[in-house]
Structure formats: structure tokens, C-alpha cells
Structure 1
């Protein structure tokens, strides 16, 4: 049994953090695995959307602190560890396909780090979110802080980071941290992902690239690269198919090219 499991059905991939007995804490190997898996799924033309969730009724309680004495003991190890964490979140954001975090139970610390890297966060009513950095004398990383700021705005981001308070699902929904609360968030996410998967992949990936770049602050968006994506979509097979399907009054059959 793997610590991270992947299943693909109906063009939607589901990535499951799989250490349920400990509420899915993230080892260094798992951070590295998330980066690799999302890179592979992002390059897979048969995948149109990706769901990230946790096994056993919890998303993730964050980093596995029990291994810090081995993998995060020295300054050099700490730097390498943080690079691995950032690489995982960057791979989630950079997958080029819609990503949905489905959270139940605890979504804390590094769990929030991953969830915020997704495009959407679907939660069960019992989900608890939290970033406890201020209770550990840790300054939350710049990229993660930028993602939090983009989601909830300046004042709410300060409140979350200053107080280290936990947030229930209703509060997360109210401040924009979560996008949907459902009794069965995985089923809701699959239905949502399936609907997106019917749309033009080039349009969705292009919109994601531009929006994520704009959200990450001044200078983060490569405008020339964005324009190339726009031009490629305008000359694509799918653009021709979309216009043809509209004229013929039928659903388009997009191929991502």
C-alpha cells in the first residue's frame, strides 16, 4: 500500500494521501511524491482535472514532525525540506489542469499549504482548517502567504496567521477559503470536475495560467507566455471544433489540441 494513491476515471484523476492511521501526515518522501505525481498528471492528455484528498476522514495534519530529527535537523536540511514543500505546491498549481482539494476532518499546516495550491477547496461540514505557524515560531513562506492573501484578502490573512486559530468549514466558506461545503464533498468535487472536463482544455489551462500568475503578485505572470497560449488556442483544432459544434447545435468534442 502506497502513502499516495492515484486513480483515474472519466478523465478525472484522484490523488489520495494514504496514511489514515496518523491523519495523513506528510513525510519528505510524500512531498517529493506529490510534486512528481502532479507533474505526471499535468502532462497526461487523458486527464482533464485532478482531485487531491486524504484517506480515512482527514485531509492532512501537515508535516510529519516525527521525522524532523532525521530530515530537518540542520539548516541545510531545513532549506532542502522547504524547497521540497514548495516544489509540491508549485507542481499542484502548475499542473495546467483544474485541481480540487477535498477536505474532511483536519486540514492543518502543510495540509493547508497543499489545499491552497489547488484551484478549489471543497469541504465537509466537520472540516477544520488551520495554520499554526505562530504557535511554533515559524514564519509562513512567501509563496504560501501570497496564496492565502489571494484567497481571503489582507485582513483575514493577517487574522489567520496572527492568531493561528482553527477555522471551521462555515467560516472558511464565508471568507472565501473554501468554495463549497457538502455532506459528500468528494462526490460534489467529482461532479464539478466532470463538468469542467467537458470544456476546452486549452481554454481552461490558459485561464488557470493567467489567473494564477495575476494572483501571485506583480511580475509573477509571464505576459509573453500568456499571449502564446492565447495565440495557440486561437489556431487550435479545438477552436475550430467549438465553432463547428456551435453552428451544428451539438456538444463539442474537444481533444486538447
Structure 2
């Protein structure tokens, strides 16, 4: 889709929301396409990390409310819409690759939903984060509320959801919505992603699966799958390469095998 751009360079994939004229508002079609994009990138062995960003001066103002009258006008449509939105955030969270959100300008509502699903959120001084669902009589989805709670804690999560307010970068960082502040957030996100991309893919897959599962509450983490991931890493060629590189005092060359 023209509304979403994908660029790749040296193992890093950059996914960019590309509707700057409407502050990168996300349509229903884009939610579905983002889900497919992240699922494909998760299976791409040449991709070792992903940066999610917005074209222009904004990450995303959120869902494209202008189409709600046609596609989210009642509870049945709303439920169907949330299925697509949750599938998108789940595809981001389930990817075995580290995902870094590079946030400038507005990161509101659905945009925040996307950022919450990422592993890390880097922001610049222009970043403004909020969830205005209370101003639209929308109840934010369960999985996004779980992620928000895990990052911000109960008091901040209530403040964010009850008020619908927008928070400037420094306050958003103090509330757990931004991990790091940078003047050039795109460059910082890419440099950090490259650091992570040098590490063992199987280690990251296993750690991400377990941490996400544990943070999302009882019943989310399948212990059998977690053990399979641990066992796969223990039997991997990468584990042997890691030991060799440590002994030889050199940078390991991991292949995800």
C-alpha cells in the first residue's frame, strides 16, 4: 500500500506510516496491512530488527475517525474493527524481532496502540502521547489496556484513560510511555536496532516470548512453548558460535539457526 512504506538496509526493516497530510491516521485497510507486514517480517530471516515510524512530523494521530460512520457505527462493527486492530498489535508484539517505535509529534489513540505493542518507544521533544478514547465514548481494547498497565502502572493508566489528555514528551517519559529521548529519534532508533541485531536471534525470540507472555497476565504464556524456545536456543549453531566468539574475543556471527 502507498499508505505504508517498507525500507530495508543491512538487516533493519523500517515500516513507515505514510499519510502525512492527515497526520498518518490509520484506516481499517492499514490495520490489516500492518498485520500482514509484521507477520511477513517476522518470517524474514534477513530482517533482524524493525523500526516503526510515521512520515513527516507525526507518528500517528490514531485511527481514521472519518471512516467510523461506515465501518464502526454499532457494536457489531466495533467488535469486528477491534479484531483487526488487535491482530495488528498482536503481530507486532509476537514478532520475534525487536521493534522500536520512533515517535515524533502526535502519537494518539490508535497510534499509541501501535507504539504500546513495540518493544521500545523512542521519542523526541515534539512527541505528544495520549489516548482520547474517553472523549469519543470508546473503551480502549483489552490487550492495549494490558500493555498500557504494564508500562505505566495502575495510577498513570487510569489518568491516561479517564482524562483523554495529551502528554508532552518529558511527562510521557515519566509515565513510562517513552523509554528514551533523542534529538534525532529516527537515527537513535536505527542505531539501537543495529546494536540489537548483532545479538543472537534465538535469544531475543525466547526472551520476547516469555516477557510478553508474563506481562500480559495469567494464561497468556504457554510454558511448553517457552521451554521449546529455550531448548531450540540451547541446541542451536548460534549457541556454539557464541561460545566460540567469546573464547576468541571477537564479534559473533549469528544466523538464527
Q: TM-score, normalised by structure 2?
A: 0.98
- RMSD in angstroms over aligned alpha carbons? 1.0
Q: Which residue of 2 aligns with 1:108?
A: 108
Structure 1: 4+ residue segments shifted above 3 A: none
Q: Hey, what's the Cα distance between the residues in 1 that align with 2:188 and 2:30?
A: 26
- What pairs with 1:90-101 in structure 2 (closer than 5 Å)? 90-101=90-101
Cα offset, 1:75, TM superposition: 3.1
Paired residue secondary structure (1:122): strand
Q: Does structure 1 residue 179 correspond to structure 2 residue 179?
A: yes
Q: Hey, what's the Cα distance between the residues in 1 that align with 2:159 and 2:9?
A: 39
Cα offset, 1:190, TM superposition: 0.4
Q: Hey, what's the Cα distance between the residues in 2 that align with 1:205 and 1:229?
A: 8
Paired residue secondary structure (1:58): coil
Q: Which residue of 2 aligns with 1:120?
A: 120
Paired residue secondary structure (2:8): strand
Q: Hey, what's the Cα distance between the residues in 2 that align with 1:81 and 1:115?
A: 19
Q: Which residue of 2 aligns with 1:68?
A: 68
Cα offset, 1:134, TM superposition: 1.2
- What pairs with 1:14-93 in structure 2 (closer than 5 Å)? 14-93=14-93
Q: Does structure 1 residue 138 correspond to structure 2 residue 138?
A: yes
Q: Which residue of 2 aligns with 1:202?
A: 202
Q: Hey, what's the Cα distance between the residues in 2 that align with 1:76 and 1:153?
A: 31
Q: Hey, what's the Cα distance between the residues in 2 that align with 1:200 and 1:96?
A: 11
Paired residue secondary structure (2:112): helix
Q: TM-score, normalised by structure 1?
A: 0.98
Q: Hey, what's the Cα distance between the residues in 1 that align with 2:108 and 2:141?
A: 15
Q: Which residue of 1 aligns with 2:218?
A: 218
Q: Hey, what's the Cα distance between the residues in 2 that align with 1:168 and 1:193?
A: 25
Q: Which residue of 2 aligns with 1:160?
A: 160
Q: Deviations over 1:206-238 (max 9, x none)?
A: 101100001101121111100100000000000
Cα offset, 1:174, TM superposition: 1.4
Q: Deviations over 1:143-171 (max 9, x none)?
A: 11000000011111111111111111101
Q: Deviations over 1:111-130 (max 9, x none)?
A: 00000000000111111001
Cα offset, 1:95, TM superposition: 1.0
Q: How many residue pairs end up in the alignment? A: 257
Cα offset, 1:137, TM superposition: 1.5
Q: Runs of 5+ in structure 2 lacking a partner?
A: none
Q: Hey, what's the Cα distance between the residues in 1 that align with 2:211 and 2:102?
A: 21
